[in-house]
Amino acid sequence: MNAVTEKTSLAYDEPGVLLRVVNRVAIVTLNRPQALNALSHDMVNTLSGVLRRCRIDDDIVAVVLKASGDKAFCAGGDVRELYRRAREKSLGWLQFFIDEYRLDYAVHKFPKPVIAILDGVTMGGGMGLGQGAWLRVVTERTRMAMPEARIGLVPDVGATSFLAKMPIEMALYFTLTGYSLSGADALLWKLADIYVPSAQLSTFEERLVAVPPANLDPTFPDRLKRSLKAVFDVSATDAGSASTRALVPRIRHYFEPKAGVADIVRKLSSDLKADKDRSARPWMEKTLTALEQHSPTMLCVTREIMLRGRGASLGECFRMELGCVDKAIKEGDFIEGVRAHLVDKDHKPRWAPASLWEVRAERVQHFLASPWRLAEHPLRDIESLHP
């Protein structure tokens, strides 16, 4: 096989997913830069097919997930398309999530090394795709976020599992406010493995071609992984300071796991009125604004699933998330959130209920109750398909 071999691409004028093989390593590229590489359903299905092919192809020893353009790895799922399908009462939106979660689970369980280059915006579905990788590469352009509550959804794509790497207070802050993490923050909170200046990414294929065949022998997995890591980790570049490090005392103070979302808001409001810590005031105001603007119901559901996910398996987390998403779209705030922020862009969502004080515990438990019996769950077989 040649060092660089074209394997496949989609039959579109502008393929959403590209695949090349470089020195026995599959280079899979998300190719929708005009939409910040947001995942369409076609892209999800194609990525699943590409991974299946790479899994059984003995000529492929590893996979690199990257994206076109310099702005985003992946900004998430194609929310506007999901909104359109939900408005039309088409269940195509549900199949998107089922297929996306199966894809993400497959990345987590992939038997060959997967390298994800999380350069630029990496949100929602981009996090789901990248966090299952063996080697997660970030740069100075990386911006990670899980802002689902802003549009009436919950953190999904396995977030209730992979965010368990963070202290619970940080995970709650990250998901409830939608805070954006830099590459340095991602390293600090174990959502990345190495930092690479973005300028070095343009030459990684040249370094990959130069790796001796003996170092890419899958019968010696440790040597294979060391060689792959060396392709990206070419210098001891400092990622810089993580902005969230200084915020840890504040986050622990306000986002303690025993506190409900209304308790957090109440405490922030009280401390702001008392003017206790003027140096913290800008952070407190920004945090409070986010919590007051996001869907009250989904904030409460988010807190609950983030707590539950820490004691669940990966498969259980995906099943829990799918149930919450199903109800959020069928009878929750998703359609209104997307309308307000992405369609009409009036940024005035009419949440139901409108405030945290009106969210009843029974309503939260309703969203947490699965719409399906386990034997009928669309993801009931996810573990057996990807052992």
What CATH number is associated with residue 371? Answer: 3.90.226.10
pLDDT tens digits for range 332-382: 999 999 999 999 999 999 999 999 999 999 999 999 999 999 999 999 999
310 neighbors 300 (Cβ within 8 angstroms): no
Question: How far apart are the C-alpha atoms of 176 and 196, rounded to whole Å?
Answer: 29
* Average pLDDT rounded to a whole number, residues 125-130: 98
For residue 185, the enclosing domain spans 1-387
Closest among 90, 78, 81, 149 to 330, alpha carbons compared = 90
Number of continuous H segments (helices) and E segments (strands) in the chain: 17, 10
What three-state secondary structure class fits 67?
Answer: strand
Q: For 248-311, where are the E strands, in sequence order?
A: none
**With 50 as the cut, is the pLDDT of residue 5 above it?**
no
Number of domains in the chain: 1
**Res 23 pLDDT > 90:** yes
- Distances from the Cα of 273 to the Cαs of 171, 260, 278, in angstroms? 26, 20, 11
Distance between CA atoms of residues 318 and 159, nearest Å: 9
Bridge pairing between strands 62-67 and 143-145: unpaired
Count of Cβ atoms closer than 10 Å to residue 40 Cβ: 16
Statement: residue 43 has pLDDT above 80: yes
pLDDT at residue 331 is higher than 80: yes
Average pLDDT over residues 193-210: 95
Mean pLDDT of 18-41: 96
SS3 assignment, position 66: strand
The model's confidence at residue 3, banded by pLDDT at 50, 70 and 90, is very low
Q: If you average pLDDT over every residue of the chain, what do you get?
A: 93
Helix or strand (DSSP H, E) at 135: strand 135-138
How far is it, in rounded angstroms, from Cα 58 to Cα 307?
41
The percent of residues in the chain predicted with pLDDT above 70, rounded, is 96
Mean pLDDT of 279-292: 95
- Output the six-digit token pair for 286: 């920004």
Per-residue pLDDT for 298 more than 80? yes
Band (8; pLDDT cuts 50, 70, 90) = very low
Q: pLDDT band at residue 2, thresholds of 50, 70 and 90?
A: very low
Task: Write the Ramachandran bin of 194: left for phi over 0, alpha for psi from -120 to 50, otherwise beta.
Answer: beta
State yes or no: pLDDT of 200 exceeds 60: yes
Question: Is 56 a residue whose pLDDT tops 50?
Answer: yes
Whether the predicted pLDDT of 385 surpasses 90: no
Q: In angstroms, what CA-CA distances link 375 with 73, 214, 250, 371, 372?
A: 36, 47, 44, 12, 8
pLDDT of residue 13: 41
- Residue 188 and residue 245 in contact, taking contact as beta carbons nearer than 8 Å: yes
